[in-house]
Amino acid sequence: MDHREHMNSLNDTCNELKNQYDKCFNTWFSTKFLKGDTNDSMCASFYSVYQQCIKKAMKEHNIELHDAQINHLETDKEKMPQS
């Protein structure tokens, strides 16, 4: 799959880590999970490193996890200009 088809990470510095995790996850999903093996530990190290990068980026941009989980799609807040 071409990298342009992937959703980028929250922060550009995390994109490569996200791509590595996505590649591992897709391999695990197709070769393990779909055959009944639900042990997802093979990608744990990729996920951990990517997660730390995201946490650092969120802190640098003053984004709280709660703020990132709020759905603004199809609400008035979706159309509000950023301040």
Per domain, the residue ranges of the chain are: 10-79
**Cα 43 to Cα 19: distance, rounded to the nearest angstrom:** 12
Output the pLDDT for position 83.
Answer: 57
Q: Which residues, 6 or more positions from 20, have their beta carbon under 8 angstroms from its beta carbon? A: 46, 50
**Cα 38 to Cα 44: distance, rounded to the nearest angstrom:** 13
Output the pLDDT for position 3.
Answer: 45
pLDDT along the chain (83 residues), means of 10: 64 93 97 96 97 92 76 68 61
CB-CB contact of 17 with 9 (8 Å): yes
